[in-house]
């Protein structure tokens, strides 16, 4: 088909130049855990905790016999990367920050399969992260 013979999209599907400028590219990562490759359930949990992070609750008893409870938030690799969880095993993140997550997946290469896809985000699509990296310290 010659360039001059290109078909045009219907009017409702056409985007203006301004709409195209506000888009930015991102990376969609879809992964699948190969359960049979993990040595144990705790090893599989180590993968998910490393990816998503987790909360640890510690109960202690002081000298007076009073029970105290401390909660610590342990951060995973996604806490440092602006992202949006699309589904149970699908994550969209900024292209610039995708390398951290892909390095994490590469460290689990025999036990986790993944694919990456280039996607476009509109201006209204927000990616979130917890970039503080701080942990609660007990008193």
Beta-ladder partners of 112: 33
- Give the model's pLDDT for residue 129: 62
Please, what is the average pLDDT of the chain?
81
Q: 24-121 belongs to which CATH class?
A: alpha beta
DSSP-assigned letters across all residues of 19-82? HHHT-EEEEEEEEEE-GGGSSSHHHHHHHHHHHH-EEEEEEEE-TTS-EEEEEEEE--GGGGS-
Residue 137 has pLDDT above 50, yes or no: no
Stronger pLDDT, 52 or 17, i.e. the higher one? 52
Residue 127: predicted pLDDT:
77
* Domain residue limits, the chain: 24-121
CB-CB contact of 93 with 103 (8 Å): no
What is the pLDDT at residue 104? 94
* pLDDT of 47: 94
pLDDT in tens, 58-82: 999 888 888 999 999 999 999 988 8
- The answer to whether residue 89 scores a pLDDT higher than 70 is yes
The stretch 130-134 carries a mean pLDDT of 46
């Amino acid at each position: 088909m010659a360039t001059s013979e290109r078909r045009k999209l219907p009017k409702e599907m056409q985007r203006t130049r301004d709409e195209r400028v506000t888009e930015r590219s991102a990376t969609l990562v879809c992964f699948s855990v190969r359960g049979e490759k993990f040595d144990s359930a705790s090893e599989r949990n180590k993968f998910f905790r490393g990816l998503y992070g987790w909360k640890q609750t510690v109960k202690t008893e002081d000298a007076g016999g009073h029970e105290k409870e401390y909660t610590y938030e342990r951060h995973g690799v996604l806490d440092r990367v602006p992202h949006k969880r699309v589904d149970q095993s699908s994550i969209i993140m900024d292209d610039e920050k995708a390398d951290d997550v892909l390095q994490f997946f590469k460290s689990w290469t025999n036990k986790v399969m993944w694919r990456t896809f280039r996607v476009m985000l509109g201006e209204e699509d927000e990616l979130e992260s917890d970039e503080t990296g701080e942990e609660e310290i007990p008193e």
